[in-house]
Amino acid sequence: MMWLKAWKQNKENSLDQIALERLPRHVAIIMDGNGRWAKKRGLPRSMGHRAGVEALRKIVKTCSNLGIKVLTVYAFSTENWSRPKDEVGVLMTLLTEYLRKELQELHHNNVVIRAIGGISALPSEAQKELENSIKRTQNNTGLILNIALNYGGRSEIIDAVKKISNEVLNQKQKIEDINEKCISDALFTKGLPDPDLMIRTSGEMRLSNFLLWQLAYTEIVVTEELWPDFGEKSLLNAIKAYQQRDRRFGGIHTD
């Protein structure tokens, strides 16, 4: 299915109040609240995660239709390994399933699939599916869907420090030349703009080790909605809120 055509034909999309020329280039999302969503319904947590995948499908579509360049979603943190083995298993299976089922449509809609995090520690099935999806979509030119898996901001920074230290040891880098660009380039997100907007669902006001370096000047929107309830309207509302913010980057306005 071609998403954009169907979307443009749908008169119900209320894009008024959204300035399409001032969209965030990069949106990052902490998809939180699947467990609470399930609990509210007396369902097992796994059903919450399943519903969470449905929400993700819709949000990817909306971001692509809007013309957003990058969407980074936090799917599994380095700390999430501490959950019961069964739940970790469900999350990994859902990832594999999502890629297997959606690849065709994502590819057809010009989406580029990427991943950030310690991918080599994921179960081999998930890794295989991920590698295949990344390879298949690498030459696409549409939305970059960046999936954070076994991702932790601190461990990403540790890796970067090691990489740069080695370059210094091998005399490929001078200590006095280490700057922000050099650190950004040593992170998984190399080449991507920093997020303009970071959304966290389910009301939690913390970063939970997500994109610690990259979020330095990002606008944050926290919504009470649980991730499975987060839909197109919710995203548009978050973008509206973003567009009302005054991004000063430490400066002042002189006009």
Catalytic residue numbers? 32, 80
Q: Which does residue 150 touch among Mg ion, ligand IPE, none (CB within 5 to 8 A, set by kind)? A: none
Other Cβ atoms less than 10 A from the Cβ of 175: the count is 8
Name the region of 118 (left: φ>0; alpha: ψ -120 to 50; beta: rest).
beta
65 binds, among Mg ion, ligand IPE, none (CB under 5 to 8 A by kind): none
Residues in the chain: 255
What whole-number distance in Å separates Cα of residue 89 and Cα of residue 95? Answer: 10
Angle between helical axes of 45-66 and 232-243 (0-180°, round to 10): 60
- Could you list the beta-strand ranges (E) of 43-162: 70-77, 112-116, 144-151
**36 labelled binding-site residue:** yes
CB count within 10 Å of CB 87 equals 15
Long-range contacts of 217-223 (CB under 8 A, 24+ apart): 217/247, 217/249, 218/28, 218/194, 219/24, 219/245, 219/247, 221/197, 223/199
77 in a labelled binding site? yes
Q: Which three-class secondary structure state does DSSP give residue 47?
A: helix
Residues that bind Mg ion (CB under 5 A): 32
Residue ranges binding ligand IPE (CB under 6 A): 30-36, 74-77, 80, 91, 202, 204, 206, 208, 227
Least Å from the CB of residue 236 to Mg ion: 24
| Closer residue to ligand IPE in complex, CB, 65/202 | 202
Residue nearest to Mg ion (CB): 32
d(CA 252, CA 241): 21
Residue 189's binding partner out of ligand IPE, Mg ion, none, with CB under 5 to 8 Å set by partner kind: none
**Of 32 and 129, which has the nearer Cβ to Mg ion?**
32
Residue 74 binds: one of ligand IPE, Mg ion, none (C-beta under 5 to 8 A by kind): ligand IPE
Q: How far is the CB of 125 from ligand IPE (least distance, A)?
A: 18
In the complex with Mg ion, the residue whose CB is nearer, 32 or 156, is 32
Nearer to ligand IPE, 23 or 226 (CB): 226
32 is in an annotated binding site: yes
* 78 annotated ligand-binding residue: yes
Annotated binding residue 206:
yes
* Shortest distance (Å) from residue 204 CB to ligand IPE: 5
CA angle 169, 172, 177 (to 5 degrees): 95
We find the least distance from the C-beta atom of residue 165 to ligand IPE, in angstroms, to be 29
Binding residues for Mg(2+): 32, 219
